[in-house]
Amino acid sequence: MSGSTPLLDQVKVPEDLRKLAPKKLRQLSDELREETISAAAETGGHFGAGLGVVELTVALHYVFDTPRDRLIWDVSHQAYPHKILTGRRDKIRSIRQKDGLYGFTKRTESEYDPFGTAHSSTSISAGLGMAMARDLDGDDNNVVCVMGDGAMSAGLAYEAMNNAGALNSRLVVILNDNQMSIAPAVGALSNYLSWLTSSRPFLSLRDIGKHLAERFPRYIQETAERADEFARTMLFGGTLFEELGFYYVGPVDGHNIDSLVPILENVRDADSLGPILVHVVTEKGKGHPFENPNNEKYHAVAKFDSESYEFKKAAANAPSYTSIFARALIKEAEKDEKIVAITAAMPSGTGVDKFTDEFPDRSFDVGIAEQHAVTFAAGLATEGYKPFAAIYSTFLQRAYDQVVHDVALQSLPVRFAIDRAGLVGNDGATHAGSFDLTYLCCLPNMVVMAAADEADLMHMVATCVSIDDKPSAVRFPRGEGSGAELPDEGVPLEIGKGRIVREGSKIAILSLGARLQECLKAADELQASGLSTTVADARFAKPLDEDLITKLSRGHEVLITIEEGAIGGFGSHVLNFLAKSNLLDTGARVRPMSFPDEFVAHGGQDEQYEDAGMMAADIVKEVFAALDDTASAKAKA
């Protein structure tokens, strides 16, 4: 730990926190912030958002009776302080490590995590469901949803707010605004106004005024309504939220705990109101130890020295796939002015920030709005542009209807650059790119590629540019490449054609994506056991290279397919082709290898692939199992 934490040492669970005098909460917040920094130094992980909500976390657990009162952290990368206060301090240095605490809230981890959240903008919908269940049960507990301001850019949040306003169920939404994009300057006056507008006397006066105005002539009513709306707009900025049916309180200084606590107490005790939105302004990374931090860069950090604050990140052995994608796209865009790039609030995570540096007018960050990003790209494609929608695999799931209806159905040439395909390590199952092969390969009019190495990725970006009559997708993993020699620029590949990487005669391994290096290691082991092994790189999951598959099936005793995705993807399509071609009985014994039918827990990427059974040793084991089956079948014959 970074130092003495006498108050925090007394708080094992929020019930202990609520025994403290209010004047002690400032010191507790300071100790909690230091503990959060100390833990992050050892583990890395999401950092800035958690530091920004330290006081808010203390205030919420102090005012509300958690876990009976439900507290939902939207996205929940800001939940490290919450975990420390809710009985998990002794494990906080295991966060995001194998068998350690999960990096986001998780229902099975703690009763203080009523909803698992790792994707943005789900909390209000879930919270409203909990509130309605409470009402149906005749209970009286509170439901509180903490929204990051970025999460308010997603349509789901507004769908939920619209429904909440119509249902008029008691629900508290905290808008954590850490960019000051909505709020005016926050100070003593606005804190006082927020306390005043959340208090019972003000509510009563406002209600009395409303009823009196209804008895006046219409022109006086309209004047009063306009004055009220003007005052709320100028002083509180809450007209939008009140139009959605929420009572608006704010802005509130999210680091002034002396103001936060009484305002939240007023909100908690406002039984007569329906949904309430409390607008809290915070500073992302508040109290960070670094000089001149970049908010996006320090959103998540590597391990760092707790004394010098220097990062301990190991030097990269090879460029990351993300950086290679950016390089390839920039190369193509230098030759073709119709190429544009779109990202959904992840410019650096997808490499689009580098594209933006070169082509600012051809780059679009649409916020946390993947559905909009895809249909926006479709609109660009109708006008002859060549949009690349660079979206993480796990986030593209959120826009599947748009991929189907707005892109594939119309055969529009939107190019999907699918980053973080496969297992992603410490972020765990919520961020794994497990399903894109399955949900894309079933779509008509879709070309789906998977890069085996960095050079392949450059060629596949060029291939996407060349496809002008249908949508295409290239998927690539998180992290470093394999060290492949890079071309000066990509060259379009022949659509639907794979390649033989190593020739053999008895065993065939058909790889799709970045497991190719493990396949080559497996081939070495098999060769050492006297089993001559062919290794092929499919390159395309759709359309399949049917000639290559036929050759591998007819010329080998065992055919293994391997992919970084769930069942229903590449291997399933290979089996379907072999079955229709009557090759399952006359060709090789086929064993598809894909992710297990479960969500793979967080840990290092290699640890995850070991858990998933996708390493070289697992491939060798699968080959010998297939050979045993073959021998048994021959013996029975």
Residues 297, 291: Cα–Cα separation, whole Å = 12
429-469 tens-digit pLDDT: 989 999 999 999 999 999 999 999 999 999 999 999 999 99
342-386 tens-digit pLDDT: 999 899 999 999 999 999 999 999 988 999 999 999 999 999 999
10 pLDDT tier (thresholds 50, 70, 90)? very high
Residues 6+ apart with CB under 8 A from 494: none
Residue (of 106, 115, 107, 165) closest to 145 by Cα position: 115
Query: Span 25-54, mean pLDDT?
Result: 83
Residues 6+ apart with CB under 8 A from 230: none
Query: Span 106-115, mean pLDDT?
Result: 92
Residue 503 annotated to the active site = no
Single out the catalytic residue among 106, 284, 589, 591: 284
3-state helix, strand, coil in the chain (%, to 5): 45, 15, 35
Identify the DSSP state of 292.
Answer: S
471: helix, coil or strand? coil
Cβ density class 84-100: b for 16+ within 10 Å, e for less: bbbbbbeebbbbbbeeb
Phi, psi of 41 (to 5 degrees): -60, -35
227: helix, coil or strand? helix
CB atoms within 10 A of CB 497: 13
Lowest mean pLDDT, pick from 15-24, 136-145, 170-179: 170-179
Q: Cα 504 vs. chain centroid, distance in angstroms? A: 41
576-630 tens-digit pLDDT: 999 999 999 888 999 999 999 999 999 899 999 999 999 999 999 999 999 987 6
209 pLDDT tier (thresholds 50, 70, 90)? very low
Peptide bond into 201 cis (omega under 30): no
Single out the catalytic residue among 31, 34, 35, 370: 370
Residues 258, 59: Cα–Cα separation, whole Å = 9
pTM of structure: 0.85
Written as six digits, the tokens of 45 are: 């992980």
Written as six digits, the tokens of 140 are: 């009286």
Residues 192, 128: Cα–Cα separation, whole Å = 29
Residue 370 annotated to the active site = yes
Query: What stretch of H or E contains 627?
Result: helix 616-636
Percent of the chain's residues with pLDDT above 70? 82
Domains of the chain, CATH where assigned:
8-281 (3.40.50.970), 321-475 (3.40.50.970), 500-636 (3.40.50.920)
46 pLDDT tier (thresholds 50, 70, 90)? low
DSSP 334-353: HH-TTEEEEESS-HHHHTHH
317 pLDDT tier (thresholds 50, 70, 90)? confident
Alpha-helix residue ranges (DSSP H) falling in 425-554: 436-441, 454-466, 516-528, 546-554
Residue 398 annotated to the active site = yes
Sole residue written with tokens 């379009």: 492
Locate the DSSP E strands across 192-315. 247-253, 275-281, 300-301
Residues 122, 115: Cα–Cα separation, whole Å = 10
Single out the catalytic residue among 33, 96, 398, 589: 398
Alpha-helix residue ranges (DSSP H) falling in 69-216: 80-83, 123-137, 155-167, 188-198, 200-213
Written as six digits, the tokens of 520 are: 């080559």
Query: What stretch of H or E contains 14?
Result: helix 14-17
Query: Span 625-636, mean pLDDT?
Result: 70
136 Rama sector, left if φ>0, alpha if ψ -120 to 50, beta otherwise:
alpha
125 pLDDT tier (thresholds 50, 70, 90)? very high
CB atoms within 10 A of CB 334: 12
